[in-house]
Amino acid sequence: MTKHLKGMINMNILVVGLGLIGGSLCKAMKKYTYHTVTGCDRNHDIEFAALRDVAVDKTFDGNYSGYDLVVIALFPEATENFFRQHAGEFTKGTLVTDVCGIKGDFSARMKEIAEQNGVRYVGIHPMAGKEFGGYYNSTADLFVKANFIVTPFDDSKETDVETLKKLALEVGAGKIVVTSPENHDKMIAYTSQLAHIVSSAYVKSPELGLECGFSGGSFQDMTRIATMNENMWTDLFMQNREHLMYELDTLIANLNKYSEALKNADSESMKSLIAEGRELKEENLRHRVGQPN
């Protein structure tokens, strides 16, 4: 990480929830920035572990006032419940964000809570993760070269958007995308949520227990995210169900074409389907090469 990024204005930041994302964000800010970081977790042992790891400057003392930025790093339902319960305790004008993989109606409710309590809200979504969650799997470099999405509303302050973009750069983000909460959910249904459903369904073959010695990179790629947390991902899927149903129905329709080709021993149709997929991916790769980082 380049040192010059440390030149930005230092903030007093509270991170609520020291799991994989929250813990990694704390560690990244302590490694790459001069921000003052306070860690808050319902498990006080985790707070003290973060303090011992120098992932935070201090543990939460029960006072929610005095912060420039509050990052809520909980599951979606817990994030909304926490904000509704404590927003009135934040200093007026505080910038609040969340790291949830859902925005849309969720973000609209978060914005309403913010406005009712005199604070500001803009959501973010770091596109980073691991097979296993929790603080003890967190790392300072989780966000390095990762995509990072900022989801303001039409009336969000540009300074708030810039603050979050700069923070993303500081912790190592590769490509930063600014988009609406609604478009975020439409795209994430395809690029993330659908893949998690496919991985979960893929490992339900009766051959799973016999794969050792027969599997390679493709198997590992397809099954890596099947270890997802069922509580969090059910919440994400249900809050984005319309977009996700569209993508899942589209996938099933495409899979049926391959199934029909096999049932009919139709080599020409299979070859055509494979070629179509190859050409679409090659075009996608060419497009990505021309995109700025």
Mean pLDDT of the chain, nearest integer:
94
Residue 164 lies in a domain: yes
Share of the chain above pLDDT 90, in %: 89
Asked whether 76 and 105 are in contact (CB, 8 A), the reply is no
Dihedral (CA of 6, 9, 12, 14) sign: negative
pLDDT of 280 higher than 80: yes
Q: For residue 127, what is the domain's CATH number?
A: 3.40.50.720
The pLDDT value given to residue 195: 96
Q: How confident is the model at residue 4 (pLDDT cuts 50, 70, 90)?
A: very low
pLDDT of 180 higher than 50: yes
Residue 3 lies in a domain: no
How many helical (H) and strand (E) elements, i.e. helices and strands, does the chain have?
11, 9
Residue 5 lies in a domain: no
Q: How far apart are CA 210 and CA 196, in angstroms?
A: 22
pLDDT of 133 higher than 80: yes
133 with 152, same domain? yes
**Mean per-residue pLDDT for 17-41?**
97
**Mean per-residue pLDDT for 1-22?**
75
The pLDDT value given to residue 129: 83
169 with 210, same domain? no
The domain of 228 spans 185-289
Q: How confident is the model at residue 213 (pLDDT cuts 50, 70, 90)?
A: confident
Q: How far apart are CA 123 and CA 106, in angstroms?
A: 10
**Mean per-residue pLDDT for 102-123?**
98
Q: For residue 260, what is the domain's CATH number?
A: 1.10.3660.10
Residue 204 lies in a domain: yes
53 with 111, same domain? yes
192 with 268, same domain? yes
The pLDDT value given to residue 290: 61
Q: How far apart are CA 73 and CA 22, in angstroms?
A: 5
The pLDDT value given to residue 202: 95
Residue 89 lies in a domain: yes
User: Which tokens sit at 147?
Assistant: 């995509």
Q: How far apart are CA 226 and CA 199, in angstroms?
A: 5
The full DSSP string for 37-92 is EEEE-SSHHHHHHHHHTTS-SEE--S---S-SEEEE-S-HHHHHHHHHHHGGGSPT
Q: Which residues share a beta bridge with 123?
A: 151
**Secondary structure class of 138 (helix, strand, coil):** coil
User: Which tokens sit at 229?
Assistant: 């947390």
127 with 211, same domain? no
235 with 144, same domain? no
Residue 69 lies in a domain: yes
Q: How confident is the model at residue 97 (pLDDT cuts 50, 70, 90)?
A: very high
Domain boundary among 147, 179, 211: 179
pLDDT in tens, 225-266: 999 999 999 999 999 999 999 999 999 999 999 999 999 999
pTM for the model stands at 0.89
Nearest 5°: the CA angle 268, 269, 272 is 85
Give the CA dihedral 21, 27, 30, 33, nearest 10 degrees: -50
The pLDDT value given to residue 291: 66
199 with 151, same domain? no
The pLDDT value given to residue 9: 73
The pLDDT value given to residue 201: 97
| Number of domains the chain is built from | 2
Asked whether 84 and 74 are in contact (CB, 8 A), the reply is no
Pairing of strands 36-40, 120-121: unpaired
The pLDDT value given to residue 3: 35
116 with 137, same domain? yes
CA distances from 177 to 33, 70, 256, 286 (A): 22, 21, 34, 19
The pLDDT value given to residue 288: 76
The pLDDT value given to residue 8: 56
